[in-house]
Structure 1
Amino acid sequence: MGTASGEPFDETEMTAAHKTLPFGTYVRVTNLANNQTVEVKINDRGPYGEGRIIDLSKSAFKEIGALSTGVLNVEVEIIYP
């Protein structure tokens, strides 16, 4: 399965989907509940659920929260355009 950027999807990579940021943009995502952060590269489009701002790969999500949580309150900061 591929991403909107044309890269193959790999849940072990530190990547994410965002609706508008250019592909290749690096962002820091902070879990507001525990202050854990992860840096990811935008390589896909989405998420399309209401109120969602970013969709992390499985590996990236696990860096900042338990997968069983499903959805986290996060802050997204661009670190490299």
Structure 2
Amino acid sequence: MPPRAYLKGETMALRIGRCLLRELRKAKKLSQVELAKRVRDLGVDLSDTTVSEFERNERICTNILTLKGISRVLGCHIDDLYEFPDS
């Protein structure tokens, strides 16, 4: 089956799973700015704007280094960052 066309405003993140970054970040009592800074301190480029886009499912993170940096700061596994629907 060929991939379907995206509707205006629809993102790949919404199609493949829901980002749980906001819940994980808040559980650690970190702001978006603090999370981004701690990830940058690990040598991975990440802005608080990008964190916000991930959290709103407006952008999907495909960079393994970014995923590893975020998961390291949050003390979770990369797999914990997204919730995938059963299908």
TM-score of Structure 1 vs Structure 2, range by shorter chain: under 0.3
TM-score by structure 1 length? 0.27
